[in-house]
Structure 1
Amino acid sequence: MKKILLPTDFSENAYNAIKYAVQLFEKEECLFYLLNTYTPVLYDNEYLVYSASQPTLTEIYSKRSNEGLERVLRRVKRNFRNDKHSFKKISSFNLLGDEIKDLVVEKEIDMVIMGTKGATGAEEILFGTHTVHAIKKTRCPLLAIPSLYEYRPPSQILFPTDYEADIPGILQSLLELAELHASTVHILHVYSGLNLSEEQTSRKNALGNALKNNGHHFYSITEKSVVRAIYDFQEENEVHLLAMVNNKRSFFENLLFMPLVNEIGFNVKIPFLVIPSPRR
């Protein structure tokens, strides 16, 4: 049984990610953990102002959190009846990123699925703050769902890679999704002018072998940045999911905070699967 963590701040963007999750794993037996965190004292001005006169404010926050989780659960069960799916609610007095990190270990979570922006997400950044922190801290695959994205089975997956990831190893989540949805995987390598090393060639062959039961294509792109290559491929081809291994800190940090109004206009309009590298 798969264990999927679904953080929610009760925004429509968060619920949209939950909808995506239950449809993505419609045919799989899953235990979904619905998570809501409320902010510790140090980070909450309202708490600092009123905690002295209202010693039960923590209880008020907890009550709101649990009531919100119950509303979300009723909504999901009403709209997506599935005997293969079960749910547990978690309300936690913690920072979201820290709670996700702890739960991934404690509950042996297979994947975190969340929206790219929360209730107050700014439009000028690619991902909201909570999503960025979760990507940095989470040691399991994280699937970020863009606002308003309507579910489509990921039959076409784009996987940019430098062939530095072991196969199947850390790519197990990608391979399982491809198998589950009979996906065609488009493997995109940005060629820097140097030939693949013996190790990279071995990993490329291993990836092809792992995908032998799925349609897959290898592409080698020259004279483009990774971001430009991804953007152009999405513009020229139908893609339902973008998957990347987070093994280059500087690249990912620049990508996550990249303004949408930059010269490329890079915008992830499709679900984005971030796979952590064990070397990170």
Structure 2
Amino acid sequence: MKKILVPTDFSEQAENALKVAAQLAKKHGSEIYLLHMLELPLQEVDMMSSPSPLPEAMFFMKLAQQKFENLLSRDYLKGLVVHDIVKNYPSFSSVIDTCHEYNVNLIVMGSHGATGLKEMFIGSNAEKVVRTSDLPVLVIKNEHAEFSVDRFVFASDFNKDNKETYKQATKFAEAFGAQMHLVMVNTANNFTPTAEANKRIQEFIKDSNFKNYTTHIYNDESVEIGILNFSKEMDADLIGISTHGRQGIAHFFNGSISEDLVNHSKRPVITFKI
């Protein structure tokens, strides 16, 4: 968690994510990379054209810099190392590319809910970041005066290909001193008997040194609804899920469960790429 990237469009939701990132940075000695993407195809600017679109591009670059200066003056960022980055190609893949460029460990991003971040994350772009990122993505919906994680729900089908993401999740739980509540959601269309489900969970976690956990089998009409309902019953501070990216997780995260949770959960969600 030494390098944290926060995409921003300077909205309230993006600042909620930045405030959480600042708390994490202070606790773990991290640097913050604050990314803003302009919707200007500067790479296509023709310097020989008349009139040149360059003045308009420079105007928006300067405007972004002014907003950065205003944001970086916030009290909650004092004492932190914050790098401001402007990219001139508006694509969800730019977030991941920037993470690789700066060797980022964690993405913390705001979300407005089903509609995503205004201006920057229009439509499904926020979901695409979650779906395509090979790094953990922490999605923040609301302002957190104190971001603490005591109760961490980790939902899985507990198949073997999830083990690496579980290891990442336990490290995150250890960093916060959180108890993990491992849950497997049973549905009518994909039902697993309790004894078999418990056996699968125990087989899955037997090689892990992490011991601060509880296990649960939860029945509901869908996996997503089950995770949301279970998290509400546990009063979870954070929901963790694994994602295969575009392929989904066989027999569990069909289609876009991770993206749907990011959209519909009122609680913070962290995703881990298999």
TM-score by length of 1: 0.78
Listed as ranges, the matches of 1:31-180 within 5 Å are: 31-41=31-41, 52=51, 54-75=53-74, 78-82=75-79, 85-117=80-112, 118-119=117-118, 129-164=124-159, 169-180=164-175
Structure 1 residues 139, 167: closer, same or farther in 2, change over 3 A?
A: closer
Counterpart residue identity of residue 27, structure 1: K
Distance 2:198 2:179 in 1: 26
Distance 1:168 1:2 in 2: 23
Counterpart residue identity of residue 57, structure 1: E
Structure 1 residues 178, 161: closer, same or farther in 2, change over 3 A?
A: same
2:45 maps to which residue? Answer: none
Distance 1:165 1:25 in 2: 32
Identity of aligned residues (%): 22
Out of 6-15 and 101-110, give the one that drifted further: 101-110
1:204 maps to which residue? Answer: 205
Question: SS of the counterpart of 1:39?
Answer: coil
Q: What is the Cα deviation at residue 150 of structure 1?
A: 4.8
Question: SS of the counterpart of 1:27?
Answer: helix
Aligned residues: 251
Structure 2 residue runs without a partner (length 5+): 43-49
Distance 2:11 2:132 in 1: 22
Give the conservation status (yes or no) of the 8 Å contact 1:165–1:245. Answer: no
Q: What is the Cα deviation at residue 70 of structure 1?
A: 2.0
- CA-based RMSD: 3.0
Structure 1 residues 29, 149: closer, same or farther in 2, change over 3 A?
A: closer
Give the conservation status (yes or no) of the 8 Å contact 2:220–2:226. Answer: no
Counterpart residue identity of residue 12, structure 2: E
Structure 1 residue runs without a partner (length 5+): 43-50, 261-266
Question: SS of the counterpart of 2:31?
Answer: strand
Counterpart residue identity of residue 19, structure 1: K
Structure 1 residues 251, 239: closer, same or farther in 2, change over 3 A?
A: same
2:232 maps to which residue? Answer: 235
Counterpart residue identity of residue 226, structure 1: V
Give the conservation status (yes or no) of the 8 Å contact 1:149–1:270. Answer: no
Give the conservation status (yes or no) of the 8 Å contact 1:96–1:134. Answer: no
Runs of 4+ in 1 over 6 A off after TM superposition: 197-200
* Residue number among 236, 251, 254 corresponding to 1:251 in the alignment: 254
Distance 2:262 2:103 in 1: 34
TM-score by length of 2: 0.79
Structure 1 residues 136, 86: closer, same or farther in 2, change over 3 A?
A: same
